[in-house]
Amino acid sequence: MKIREAKIEDAVELLEVIKNVEESGNMLFEPGERIISIEGVKQMIGRLNESPKGALLVAIENQYLLGYMVVKVDHPKRVSHRAYVAVGVHSEFRGRGVGTELFYKLFELAEQQQIHRLELTVLTTNEAALNLYKKMGFKIEGLKKDSLCINEEYEDEFSLSKLIG
């Protein structure tokens, strides 16, 4: 498995993986809610990879795109040391180490880009993702009560972080 920054040529496959991941119901967008085009994915790739910090990473194996990781850094100087992370793995490849490999690459990237703090959120009911994040060294910092409204029910999220260096 190879982890690298996404390329414009990855847009079609990346779009399919994003759609698949959002169908899980564990992401911010509800299944089918986000209307995203190939052109939109190309713009996202360009925007994230051209920024001085952050990236859009992809996991590739046998020429198939298995998963992705968005690493977003805000620009005010006071917060430029931290990155918000979102990760998604295609349903057919979950549990095979794709997320783990994406995180290893993230940690290298964070060192290179002098990112000191990594942040993410996860539904409290998403045990598989929570176990992965804990395995990768993330710590729960807090509980976001009624953070999301899913199927007309309020759901809680954990806020997690990991300090680098």
Round to whole Å and give the CA distance between 160 and 120.
5
Q: Give the pLDDT of residue 81.
A: 95
The ranges of the chain with pLDDT < 50 are none
**Torsion-angle region of 137 (φ positive above 0: left; ψ -120 to 50: alpha; else: beta):** left
Round to whole Å and give the CA distance between 9 and 63.
12
2-163 classified as CATH 3.40.630.30: yes
Please compute Rg for the chain using Cα positions.
Answer: 15
Residue type, 148: L
Report the Cα 28 to chain-centroid distance in Å: 11
**Domain boundaries in the chain?**
2-163
Q: Give the pLDDT of residue 89.
A: 97
Q: Give the pLDDT of residue 30.
A: 82
- Read off the pLDDT of residues 35-65 as tens digits, 9 standing for 90 and up: 889 999 999 999 998 888 999 999 999 999 9
Question: What CA dihedral angle connects 48, 146, 140 and 6, to 10 degrees?
Answer: -20
Q: Give the pLDDT of residue 32.
A: 81
Q: Which residue is listed with tokens 């880009």?
A: 113
- Read off the pLDDT of residues 23-33 as tens digits, 9 standing for 90 and up: 888 888 888 88
For the whole model, what pTM was predicted?
Answer: 0.94
